[in-house]
């Protein structure tokens, strides 16, 4: 009887432990890591980086980066040059889709590989699939909630679709999150900041909020001091000049958007404050 009792007690302990241990999924216990993440650990970042490099290799049609060599004139190197793809070529048209699987692998192995998300979204946009591009950016945003880059790119897509209210909201949030994990002095981070500030300032100008626009253009100029277009816009606003037709055409080109005159109706456009005054 005593051994049976011991067995029953031990079984009860094991059962209780099993109930406690299986209350949360393995991924939650490991801090939101997938099974692959737990198996591969930090090496998944190396895999992700390799997959991203492979995507770049595919974009260049299998031509690798050219590195300086100490041996260039023997028969091995000449055969190798004849056999391996060479030249500066880029995938075009439908061939660009071939880089997508590698970007997919890159984000699956490391959901924090923001560059992979952004590159995938960019090329999906170029391929005319802005719906898929936005879906990718939203997934990236979900995996990297503190990163401004996804928000900035989404804002630009909404800007192109003339969804100015949402674009403005996303830009404000992206600017709040800048520089996220990047170094504030990083060249790309400063370019992103200047770009987002410019877009936001342009949206202010569309609403007729010139002072708000001026403040943001000045910040953008501080981030990109050599930008002649920004410098010209700041001076123009400070001088009280209105946006001329030529300015409008230039900014339309810069922001890649066909903008009509502010007095004409346009779906999704934020109305200017002085429109009502003039009509009254």
Site track 195-234 with another protein (rule: CB under 8 A), x = hit: ----------------------------------------
Touching another protein, residues 129-168 (CB under 8 A): 129, 132, 135-136
- The least distance separating another protein from the CB of residue 168, rounded to whole angstroms, comes to 28
Judged by DSSP in three states, 256 sits in coil
172 and 196 in contact (C-beta within 8 Å)? no
Least distance between another protein and beta carbon 79 (Å): 5
SS3 267: coil
The site string for another protein over 43-82 (x = CB under 8 A, - otherwise) reads ---------------x--xx----xxxxxx--xxx-xx-x
* Smallest gap from residue 65 Cβ to another protein (A): 10
CB of 46 to another protein, least distance (A): 16
Q: How far apart are CA 77 and CA 79, in angstroms?
A: 5
Q: How far is the CB of 96 from another protein (least distance, A)?
A: 10
Beta carbons within 8 Å of 137's beta carbon, 6+ residues apart: 117, 118, 121, 150, 153, 154, 157
54 touches 62 (CB < 8 A): no
Report d(CA 90, CA 227) in Å as an integer. Answer: 29
> Helix 43-59 to helix 114-126 angle, to the nearest 10 degrees?
30
Among 101, 225, 268, 271, indicate the residue that binds another protein (CB under 8 A). 101
Is 279 a residue that touches another protein (CB under 8 A)? no
Q: Which residue lies nearer to another protein by CB, 101 or 145?
A: 101
Q: Among residues 77 and 181, whose Cβ is nearest to another protein?
A: 77
> Considering beta carbons, is residue 121 or 206 the nearer one to another protein?
121
Distance CA 239, CA 210 (A): 11
The secondary structure of residue 60, as a DSSP letter, is: T
């Amino acid at each position: 009887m005593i051994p049976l009792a011991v067995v029953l007690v031990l079984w009860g302990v094991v059962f209780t432990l099993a109930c406690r241990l299986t209350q949360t999924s393995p991924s939650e216990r490991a801090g939101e890591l997938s099974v692959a993440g737990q198996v591969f650990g930090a090496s998944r970042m190396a895999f992700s980086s390799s997959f991203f490099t492979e995507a770049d290799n595919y974009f260049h049609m299998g031509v690798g980066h050219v590195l300086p060599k100490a041996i260039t004139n023997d028969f091995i190197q000449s055969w190798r040059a004849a056999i391996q793809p060479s030249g500066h070529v880029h995938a075009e048209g439908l061939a660009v889709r071939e880089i997508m699987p590698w970007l997919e692998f890159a984000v699956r192995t490391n959901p924090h590989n923001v560059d992979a998300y952004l590159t995938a979204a960019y090329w999906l946009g170029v391929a005319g699939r802005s719906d898929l591009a936005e879906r990718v950016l939203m997934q990236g945003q979900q995996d990297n909630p503190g990163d401004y880059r996804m928000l900035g790119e989404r804002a630009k897509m909404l800007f192109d679709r003339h969804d100015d209210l949402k674009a403005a909201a996303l830009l404000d949030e992206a600017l709040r999150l800048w520089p996220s994990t990047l170094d504030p002095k990083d060249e790309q981070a400063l370019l992103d900041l200047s770009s987002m500030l410019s877009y936001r300032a342009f949206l202010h100008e569309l609403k007729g909020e010139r002072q708000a626009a001026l403040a943001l253009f000045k910040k953008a100029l501080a981030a990109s001091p050599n930008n002649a277009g920004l410098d010209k816009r700041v001076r123009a606003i400070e001088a009280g000049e209105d946006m001329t037709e030529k300015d409008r055409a230039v900014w339309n080109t810069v922001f890649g958007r066909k903008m009509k005159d502010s007095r004409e109706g346009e779906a999704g456009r934020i109305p200017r404050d002085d429109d009502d005054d003039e009509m009254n």
